[in-house]
Amino acid sequence: MYPSTRSDREQWITEAHYNLFNLKSQQVFIDLLTDSGTGAMSQEQWSALMSGDESYAGSKSFERLRETITSLTGFPYVLPTHQGRAAENVLFSVMVKEGHVVPGNAHFDTTKGHIEFRKASAFDCTIDAATDTSLYHPFKGNLDIGKLENVVQVYGKERIPLIIVTITCNSTGGQPVSMENLRAVREFADTHGIPVIFDSARFAENAYFIKVREKGYQNRSIREIIREMFSLADGMTMSSKKDGIVNMGGFIAMNSQALFREATTFNIMFEGYITYGGMSGRDMAALAQGLEEATTFGYLESRIKQVHYLGGLLREAGIPVQEPFGGHAIFVDATRFLPKVPCEEFIAQTLAIELYLESGVRAVEIGTLLADRDPDTRENRYPKLELLRLTIPRRVYTRTHMDYVAAALQNVYRRRNKITSGYKIRYEAPIMRHFTVELEKIT
């Protein structure tokens, strides 16, 4: 919130056990931890909020939300949930069982968490180009159909309850998936009789990239592209905190009435009745309005161009970043930034701490801490990419804030050769450790 001194920040980060999630918001100057639920609602969303219908069953705010989702995606069945991971919990309670294998493109942490919690495994089938940050590929979220084929060969289609496609793919850098690739996944899934589910938190940003980067889509509207994308899936999970531009919320939508009926039971148990599922009527009203706004070209262009402005400043300064830039964040290649820090000492986390100490800017590690331990061997999993994510909340910060962030990171970059050691773990939870981990500085 307010500018602080380096010695304030040294004290606060020590008290936070070097985990940036443990910082209080008042100890942060510019908060780039996440774009999830941190956006600013528009005046139209605030006014929709005032018209919320709080009926337990059959609320008209739910009706508006359902109509909006169905008209955007084509899915007739909609279940609200309190956020994205709740949607995963409900859907996977129906679909994912012990021993199952769920292929996808760099599954998000909560997605993988919900799969592994059920003693199933997540299998990453992202194209290899995604892990070379200096290589240009317009759709680094794409799945490698050969890798999918291999999963089917090794495990058999009976053990694969679904293929999950994350649009855009958060963990590889907010990277989009092309329509051509979505079509190829659909064809592959049809051949083997496997359902396709989209993890859709940033589906509108994905549609923007298809429009501006994929041949044949320049003259198509964002909504037409979205409709075509979802025509290639059987269902979706959604964290509405991203492209719904609300502070809390999620949903599941699907084609199959049978799946909807099964999911309904879990939704009622875990979330709430089927026409509110963990959301209040006013929040559903604001979400319906947010979905309308997030799916316009003008909004998407200003949002994504702000993200790319920051990326451009970093690139000009010679800082290694994932290219091309994705939708919601700029991802700094921490391994190339801090080549002297060993990977066992959490390179991207070390960089996140250095940036905070330098400037009060809070970013987030997308690296070894997040990748967690292998559930069987309990060894650390070292991902191919160690990234620092600078995530831009929607409609919150100005260009001057971006200039400040770039200048701060440049200062750290200038002294990078002096940063030679990182951190070790003092405490960690058995699953999704990065949220609550406590670290100790290696001296």
Ligand X SMILES: Cc1ncc(COP(=O)(O)O)c(C=O)c1O
54, 281 Cβ separation under 8 angstroms: yes
Q: Record the tokens describing residue 82, joined without a space.
A: 């309190």
Q: Is 188 in the site for ligand X (CB under 6 A)?
A: no
Which of 68, 142, 166, 275 touches ligand X by CB under 6 A?
166
110 binds ligand X (CB under 6 A): yes
- Closest CB to ligand X among residues 237, 359: 237
Q: Does 81 bind ligand X (CB under 6 A)?
A: no
Q: How many residues does the chain have?
A: 443
Task: Please pick, among 77, 108, 123, 209, the residue that the annotation labels catalytic.
Answer: 108
Q: How far apart are the first and last CA of the chain?
A: 31
Q: Which of 31, 53, 116, 199 binds ligand X (CB under 6 A)?
A: 199
Ranges assigned E (strand) in 334-403: 361-362, 364-366, 387-391
With binding defined as CB under 6 A, does residue 172 bind ligand X?
no
Report how far residue 410's alpha carbon sits from residue 337's, in angstroms, rounded to the nearest whole number: 11
Residues 226-285 that bind ligand X (CB under 6 A): 239, 241, 250
Nearer to ligand X, 100 or 114 (CB): 114
- DSSP annotation of 398 reads -
What string of DSSP letters covers 285-323?
HHHHHHHHHHTSHHHHHHHHHHHHHHHHHHHHTT--B-S
Residue 108 designated active-site: yes
Contact 422, 341 (CB under 8 A): yes
- Given the residues 16, 201, 253, 294, select the one marked as catalytic: 201
Q: Considering only residues 19, 27, 36, 172, which one is a binding residue for ligand X as defined by CB under 6 A?
A: 36
Per DSSP, the chain holds a count of helices (H) and strands (E) of: 16, 14
Q: Which stretch binds ligand X (CB under 6 A): 81-89, 93-101, 387-395, 431-439?
A: 81-89
Q: Under 8 Å CB-to-CB from 138, ≥6 apart: which residues?
A: 176, 178, 209, 213, 214, 324
Cβ-based nearer residue to ligand X, 34 or 349: 34
> 240, 232, 252, 353: which is closest to 294 by C-alpha?
240
- Residue 105 near ligand X by CB under 6 A: no
User: Residue 363 catalytic?
Assistant: no
Interface segment toward ligand X; rule CB under 6 A; list 105-113, 120-128, 136-144, 188-196? 105-113
Q: Point out which residues bind ligand X (CB under 6 A).
A: 36, 83-85, 108, 110-111, 166, 170, 199, 201, 239, 241, 250
Annotated catalytic residues are 56, 108-109, 199, 201, 242, 434
